[in-house]
Each structure stands twice: as C-alpha cells, then as structure tokens.
Amino acid sequence: MTGDSWRERRRALLGDDPAAESDAARLLDSLGAEDRDDDEIEADHRSSRLAAVREYSPHARLDEELRLRLTGPDTGGGTLRFQWGHALLHPVETAVSTAAGTPVQLEVTGISAGSTVIHARPVPSSTPDEPGAFDAPATSAASTGMGTLTELLQAIETERDVREWAQLFDAVDSLSRALGKYQLNLGLTWYDADGGTRRAQLSERGRRYVERLRQTRDRDQEITISGRITELRETGWVKVKAGTARNSYAYDVRFEDPDELVRMRPALGDNVHFRVRFRQRLDAVGIARSTEFTYLGRAAEQIMLRVDE
C-alpha cells in the first residue's frame, strides 16, 4: 500500500459520479501530496486508534508487532527465500533477547510485498497475569530489547561510538554477516503496546562499519604466573593451575621453542613461576577476541615472609 492509496480508492468509489469526482479531486489536490511513508502512516493510525479506545477503556493496549523490511537485488517479488529466513530470523531473535537481558521468542505472522516485509510478534506468554498486572502496563521484555537494539543500529548507521552496547555487538555482528552474505539491507520497525514506534536499519554502510569494528589490535603486557603443572605436551604447551580449588584459574602457556620446554624436564604436579607475555586481541568495541600466554623465562620464586607480631 502506498501513501496515496486511500486517495485512489476514494476516487474509484466516486467514479460513477462525475460531479462528486470533480469535487473530490479539487479537495484532494488542495490537501497536497502525502509525503510520509507507509510505516509513519500506520504508526499514526495505531496511535489514533489507541487514543479512541482509551476514551472508554483507559488501560487498553495494542498488540506489539515487529516488521522487518528486506531490500536487495532479489527482493522485488515480496517473497522470503528459505535460506534468508534460516540465516536472518534467528540472529534477530538473539539480538532482541541479548538486548532485553532475557530470552524473547518471536514468531512470524505474515509476509507482504513492498520489497520483502516480514511481520512478526513476541510469542504470547502462557503464564497467567498476576493480580493487578492489567492496571500496571509494564514495558514488555521484547519492547525493552527493541528499544536498545534500535539505539545500537542507529549508532552503527551513523558510525558513532558503540562501546556502551559492547555486550550486544556480537549478536548484531552475526546479523550483519548474514545480511552481507545475501546482499540484503534490513529496515526494522517496532510497534509497541502503547502506540509508540521505533525504527532503525542496517544498510551496506552499517555493515561496513561493523566490519571495521570487528578488526583487532594486540595489547601486550608482561606478567608473572605461579602454580602447579596439570598438563604437558611435547609440542610446547603447558597448563599451569593457579590454585588447588577445582575452579582455580588455569593458564595455557605456549613455548615458542618446544625444545626449551623439553630441556626444563618438567613433571606433572611441579610448582613453577613463569614470566609470560599476556597478549589480548581487542576489537574496536573493546571486546577481547582472543588471549594467549607465551613463555618468556623463569621468574624468581616468591617467598612468603612471616611477620611476627
């Protein structure tokens, strides 16, 4: 449906009455062209409908809805290919859940043309409402998640600092990779239960920015680790456990020269003190994508001093 479709339907209804058609044409021309898109018009309709219903039922709420608009070389027919659905819908659900801080299940309710438009909604909860819940219109988990997700996508599209959403970046990265694989852009519109609307997109520009944020840089520092050896490999790898508790941290230490480890003649259970290079590979968001410990040499054993009172 286009922004002017209601005008066209009005003209069609009056097609058999030349005078009425002429009057309608003058009225419509005086109103000017509709310069809003379908989503904006729908948002206004929802808000108006809710306001009217709340005149009689102050606590009335609308059904929540998520619309995903896919655009790209192969979306003109308004169809959804199976491979797109498999690759895209799960990352969207994961991103919403991560942003909400709790699992959010979504279900597809329909597909329409206008590129490929997917209509979805949160899966209704099977848990009965608590007494008084009807009088307290709390924001749903899906709405909370969509609010955070749209803020992040808007920041990505304008290439702003996204470090405050670091915990959500991996979910959006997965979505961006899936879109790039099929040369698709994503437009996202969320209609909440109180008539509000949130919109965002992930276009080619946004995907390129996500790719740049994914690139890593090394951060090195020298540290000393102490503990007992719990595993050994002749290929130049040793595991050093820092404590005796089952959940004590264990370091995987790599020897650049495996023969150096052999010459040390270590044995399982030995207590060791190593100087190591601790390297983190950080992306632009500040997420450590990998860590490694590389042996540099023996460290002097730290002697616990007893202080007599």
Q: Rounded to whole angstroms, how far apart are CA atoms 110 and 107? A: 9
Q: Rounded to whole angstroms, how far apart are CA atoms 135 and 115? A: 40
Q: Rounded to whole angstroms, how far apart are CA atoms 144 and 142? A: 5
pLDDT: which is higher, 10 or 145: 145
Residues 232-246 pLDDT 10s: 998 999 999 998 888
Name the amino acid, one letter, at 53.
V
Domains detected in the chain? 39-51+60-124+141-214 (no CATH), 218-298 (2.40.50.140)
β-partners of residue 219 are 280
Q: Rounded to whole angstroms, how far apart are CA atoms 193 and 266? A: 65
Look at residue 183 and tell me whether its pLDDT is greater than 50.
yes
> Residue range 197-201: average pLDDT?
94
- Do the bridges between strand 197-202 and strand 185-191 make them parallel or antiparallel, or are there none, so unpaired? antiparallel
Q: Which of 101, 110, 185 is nearest to 143 (CA)?
A: 101
Tokens coding 161: 């600092």
- Do the bridges between strand 116-122 and strand 106-112 make them parallel or antiparallel, or are there none, so unpaired? antiparallel
Model pLDDT, residue 196:
84
Instruction: Read off φ and ψ for residue 171, nearest 5 degrees.
Output: -65, -40
Q: Which of 159, 161, 202 is nearest to 70 (CA)?
A: 202
> Residue range 98-104: average pLDDT?
95
> Residue range 98-103: average pLDDT?
95
Residues 34-63 pLDDT 10s: 566 666 676 666 767 766 666 677 777 778
Q: Look-up: residue for tokens 């050896």?
A: 229
Model pLDDT, residue 63:
83
β-partners of residue 197 are 191
Q: Rounded to whole angstroms, how far apart are CA atoms 143 and 140? A: 5
pLDDT: which is higher, 71 or 26: 71
Q: Which of 280, 67, 290, 287 is nearest to 165 (CA)?
A: 287
Model pLDDT, residue 253:
97
Look at residue 288 and tell me whether its pLDDT is greater than 80.
yes
β-partners of residue 118 are 68, 111
Look at residue 304 and tell me whether its pLDDT is greater than 50.
no
5-14, 105-114, 251-260: least confident range:
5-14
Tokens coding 30: 């005086």
Tally of CA atoms within 13 A in the half-sphere of 116 that contains its CB: 18
| Local confidence band at 136 (pLDDT 50, 70, 90 cut-offs) | very low
Q: Rounded to whole angstroms, how far apart are CA atoms 229 and 238? A: 7
Tokens coding 12: 């069609």
pLDDT averaged over every residue in the chain: 84
Model pLDDT, residue 130:
46
Name the amino acid, one letter, at 26.
R
Q: In what order do the strands lie in the sheet with 185-191?
A: 106-112, 116-122, 65-71, 185-191, 197-202
Model pLDDT, residue 74:
87
> Residue range 182-203: average pLDDT?
93
Model pLDDT, residue 84:
92
> Which runs of consecutive H residues, i.e. helices, occur in the chain?
5-13, 18-31, 38-54, 82-100, 141-157, 166-181, 204-214, 258-264
